[in-house]
Chain A
Amino acid sequence: MSQDIIKLTTPISDEARLKLRVGDLVHISGVIYTGRDAAHKLMVQAITSGETLPFELNHQAIYYVGPTPAKPGQVIGSCGPTSSYRMDPYSPVLMENGLKVMIGKGPRSKVFQAELVKNQAVYLDVTGGIGALLSKRVLKMEVIAYPWLESEAVHKLLVVDFPAIVAYDTFGNDIFE
């Protein structure tokens, strides 16, 4: 791999996160959590009603994905990102509770971007439609909450060299502009 890819290990430290700039290519290794629309709604409900969350949000990363079912012998099926803008209404509450990294695809709202800067969080863009390649970067998968949501349940993934591009950094820069 070329040396201009930045290696990140989760939970990503404040120092590493603040150094990221729009357009940086990164490889993420370590634990990340999955969640889409339905799981986000449930997590925000849990926070407002004071219930415990599926995982401690502090400094963690959420990846927006709903994979295909794993075939026998596979860790995970095809697992590319879904469009992130649908999570915009929920993300601010999660950031207020410690979430620092969001991973998905495509641009997001101005309101989201402002909240992101306020919370010094980052948003990483993953190429859509490369779920087969990404499945090779997932070493372990475990359902940790809302199993009835099937592919939309919250999964804990152990990833290695998971490729992404910094789309919004902590300085308010926007790759889609």
Chain B
Amino acid sequence: MRTISKEYLISELERIIIEAATVLDDEVVTCLQVGKAQETSKLPIHIIDEIIDNQLIARNERIPICQDTGVAVFFVEIGNDLHFDYNLTDAINQAVRNGYINGYLRKSIVNHPLDRKNTLDNTPAIIHYSLISGDRLRIRFAPKGGGSENMSKMTMLTPADGRQGIIDFVVNTVKNAGGKACPPIILGIGIGGNFEKSALLAKEALFRKLSDEALNPLDKKLEEDILKAINETNVGPMGLKGKTTCLAVKVNSFSCHIASLPVAVNIQCHAARHKEVIL
């Protein structure tokens, strides 16, 4: 049995929370540059330049990339040879508290959806746990902004709707979001499972590397076709028209019921911040 001290866990998480908010992955920057090279008119080029300049300033001066430093979302994989003599959820929330306060990040969480009182420390985090073999703890973190999350959608299609049904639903979701989701966007799509599983698949898909392709050939083909269809919508950077609406599409699938075809689309804005640590 291996243990990880609470202090170490909290300090490592605090570090990745602050780093995620201020440093955009090089992969995202490269995709933005590729998109810009394809644009021919003034506005999309101007907007992509602003986004690239912004992340450079954010990185160099450790200023949050975006003022919406989001809901703290975690995927936590726990090796079954690990032992914790403290409450892991409490420790993660403590790290969120520390990171958002010490990192001068914006606190955007309200206590109850209707009374809407700010919790002032960005807790509680949203944490998804799973078990893995071994004695390691893998934690992936993303601060997820409200603008793009608000434009995300889930639906239950019928098996007869099939592949084309999925593509149409995704394209309509993106068109409907327009500039509100801060394009260029990245899409996490979950197909199959059931009602809640599809949403979780979509969220986790957003944690994949941009260069990564789905292993299943059906999912991979869907990723390619959806990306192409979306970049033909002319939504463009910030919804002001152009070719660069979407930087990447990630499809994660799961087995499902004979009668069902659940589909969830989780939209990620260009401030695609995430960070991982293995302890």
Contacts and interface: CB of A to CB of B under 8 A. Distances in A.
Q: Is the interface of A mostly helix, strand, loop or mixed?
A: loop
B240 A67 contact: no
A77 B178 contact: no
B61 A132 contact: yes
Find the residue from A65, A133, A175 having the highest chain B CB count within 10 A.
A133
Contact of A129 (B104, B178, B271): B271
A27 interface: no
B147 A83 contact: yes
Interface of B: 22, 42-43, 46-47, 50-51, 53-55, 57-58, 61, 63-69, 104-106, 118, 145, 147, 178-180, 182, 237-240, 269-271
B133 to A, nearest CB: 39
A35 interface: no
Given A133-B54, A176-B179, A176-B240, A128 B147 contact: yes
A132 B54 contact: yes
Contact of B269 (A78, A129, A132, A175): A129
A105 B106 contact: no
B104 A132 contact: no
Contacts of A74: 63
Given A78-B63, A131-B64, A132-B22, 14 more contacts: A25-B42, A69-B104, A69-B105, A106-B178, A106-B239, A125-B179, A127-B50, A127-B238, A129-B270, A131-B54, A131-B65, A132-B61, A133-B57, A165-B240
B57 A136 contact: yes
A128 B146 CA distance: 12
B179 A129 contact: no
A135 B64 CA distance: 10
A177 to B, nearest CB: 10
A151 interface: yes
B58 A132 contact: yes
B272 to A, nearest CB: 10
Q: Which 5 pairs across A and B sit closest by C-beta, in order of nearness?
A: A132-B58, A130-B54, A78-B64, A133-B54, A132-B63
Interface string A151-176: 10000000000010100000000011
